[in-house]
Each structure stands twice: as structure tokens, then as C-alpha cells.
Amino acid sequence: MIGCSAENEQSAESSVRKLVVPVHYRGSPKGEVLKRLCEIGSERSEILLGQNIGCTSDGPTELRDALKSVSILNRDGSYPAVVGIDYGWGEMDRESIRAANRLLIAHWKRGGLVTINFDPGNPLTGIPDPNDITPIDIYRLCESGTEENDTFMRQLETVAEGLQELQRAGVVVLWRPIHEPNGGWFWWCSHDPDSNRWTSPKEYRMLWKYIHRELTKTHGLDNLLWVYSPAAMADASIRPTDWYYPGDDYVDVIGIDLYTDHLDLAHIDARGGYSRLRKFGKPMALCEIGGRTHDGRMDTLACLDAVLECCPDAKYMLFWHSWGPANNRSRVAIPDCRNPKKLMNDPRVLLVRDNDAVSQMEKVVPAKHKASDRQSE
């Protein structure tokens, strides 16, 4: 079984669920990252703080500025422990991926973790927009020789090249493909309102396993920790978070994507969307988090308090990036919301410092456990 498993240890006072790294992962770079994730919060109330800084298509300057705007909020210039990037949004470009990889490699070397999303455009229509929910036959998509498969394979080859570059640099990636399947707003798991037909859990699992096989077997990638990330069950239109779970052998980390303006258990764990994922015995996370109204009114410090109280087993929480023009901007990133400095200096959030003299204990993953630090070829 891939990923951490759960062991129940009985004591006189309580039953404690302990996450364990599987034997075949131990000693490997991704095994060390998984081990570190399992340890987060085991002795005190703490969480890895993360920030998605945008899409590779934004360009290296904008991505670098987005990361810097967060680090300057900390008195020591520390960075969020987890940095996230989208390998494009619908359309992926090799050159922009390579440029973004340089930022990710630098963050890994300073002791941080990296998470990458895969949001390809619809392979049937060719429209470079994941929200193009024109119904697509998943069986044909996974069938070699079809036009849809040819298009999808080109998309996979593009991201595989970027991931291979990171693998050569020793970077372990929290890899989050085709997320939020229970929402119905992306082509890989869409809801057709005319026919009221949803992509079935069987079809979604087939696609997930196809991607898994192509990246791990065909492209030889062994630096990926696979993250299953459904949307929080904010209303009745969103399907249960566990319906599309790909299976223990294909998932290492589980989280939800949460956008809410109400920081209480009833909204953070709406309709039990977070709780029902605990049964799989994997490290948990808030893979996206932000205010539902996207207006910057989210209190980031209150958000931290709520997550630690309602989701004490969460290993990391990652704020999403702000987007849009200046006069109509959706503001959800840490610097664009309330109390960002208090959040970035709170002792309960784990950060990393861009300082060669920093002690190994202050790094998320100590260098001695990392693969080669040589530059990517």
C-alpha cells in the first residue's frame, strides 16, 4: 500500500491513530518527506504553512514576486514551508515550466516542500480550459490511438518533462492532478446539467490510474507523492468527498479544497466532508484554502486557529493565489487578506529560511535526507 497507513494503538486513556510510512518507501527521498509529514503535529499544535504562487504561464518574475510578497511578512524573511504552482491552466508550455522549476528547486534546497497541480484543457474539444465541461468519454480518452488519447498524451508528456527535471534535481513533489472531482466543474469529472449525468467514480478512478501508470511506468517518475483533493462539501450540489477516492495503492496524501467565510466546524467540515476522508488512514491537508467571497476579508490568523482546532490532524494548509486585474481582483493569497504578518510570525506555523546557516532542525526536510543537490540537467 502506497502512502502512510494507520495503526491503532490502544492505551489506558485513549486510542491514538498513528501514521506509518510503508516499508517500500523507507529510506527513499519521498519516504523521508512522507515520514516528516506524518510527524507534523504529533507532539504539539503546529502545521506547515503553504502558499500557491500562481501558474507557470504567469512567468518567473510574477511568480518570484508572489513568493517574495509572502516572505517579507516574516520578521526573518522566512518562506512558507510549502510552495505551490500550477503547471499551466489548461495550456502548458515547456519553457514556462522550466522557468518555474528553477523557483521550485531553490525552495526545495532551502528546506521547503513543493506541490504542483495538473489542470489540463479538455482533450476532446482542444479548448485550453479545465472548466470546459463538454462531456468526454473517459474510456476513449484512455484508449491508445484515439484522437482524445493522442491529445492527452501530449499534455502528459509536457508535464512529465517538467517533473523529470525536478526528479534529476532531487525534488520530491506533492503531485495533485485532476482535483475536485466531486464538484462537477472540471471536464475530468463533469456534471452535464442537461442530462444530469455525472462522470462516474469508476471513470474518474480509471483516469487517475491511467495518469499514475503513464507517469510512474512510462516516464519513470519516482519522486511523486500523489495527493487526492476533493472539494469541501459546502452545499448539497457537491458530491461526497470520498466517492471518487482512487484507492490506497494510488494515493499518498488526502486533503480538501476549502473556501469559506465562516471559520467554524460546521463550515470547515461541512457535511462531514473532511471527516469522512480520515478512514483512509493517510496524512491529511487543506490543499486549497481561502475566503469564499474572494474579497480579502479572510482573517488568516483566525483561519489558522480554526484549522488547528477543527482539523488537528492536518499536516499542511495552503492558501491559494490571488488572480485577476487590479480593479477586479480575487484576493485570497496571504498578503491580500487580513492579519498576514501575524500569521507569518505565529510560532504554530512551520516556515523555512533562505539561509545556508540555518540549522537542520529548522528545515522541513533536513538536507541529509534529500537526494542529490546537483543542478537539473
Return the half-sphere exposure (C-beta side, CA atoms, 13 A cut-off) of residue 60.
12
Beta-carbon contacts of 228 under 8 Å, excluding residues fewer than 6 positions away, are 244, 245, 246, 251, 253, 254, 255
- In one-letter notation, the amino acid at residue 216 is T
Please pick, among 91, 180, 203, 362, the residue that the annotation labels catalytic.
Answer: 180
Measure CA 43 to chain center: 24
Return the half-sphere exposure (C-beta side, CA atoms, 13 A cut-off) of residue 82.
27
DSSP symbol at 73: T
Beta bridge pairs of residue 256: 286
In this structure, what C-alpha cell is assigned to residue 172? 520530491
**Nearest CA-CA partner of 302 in 257, 352, 253, 267:** 267
Q: What is the DSSP string of 88-141?
A: -BBB--HHHHHHHHHHHHHHHHTT-EEEEEE-B--TTT--S-TT------HHHH
Please pick, among 91, 288, 309, 362, the residue that the annotation labels catalytic.
Answer: 288
2-32 core/surface letters (b: 16 or more CB in 10 A; e: else): bbbeeeeeeeeeeeeeebebeeebeebbbbb
DSSP symbol at 200: P
| C-alpha gyration radius of the chain | 20
Instruction: Work out whether strand 79-80 and strand 349-352 pair parallel, antiparallel, or are unpaired.
Output: antiparallel
Beta bridge pairs of residue 316: 48, 285
Q: Where are the alpha helices (DSSP H) in the chain?
A: 29-39, 60-71, 94-109, 138-141, 147-168, 201-213, 265-268, 300-310, 340-344
187-220 core/surface letters (b: 16 or more CB in 10 A; e: else): bbbbbeeeeeebbebebbbbbbebbbebbeeebe
161 as an active site residue: the answer is no
7 as an active site residue: the answer is no
The strand ranges marked E within 212-341 are: 224-228, 253-259, 284-290, 314-319
Catalytic residues: 180, 288
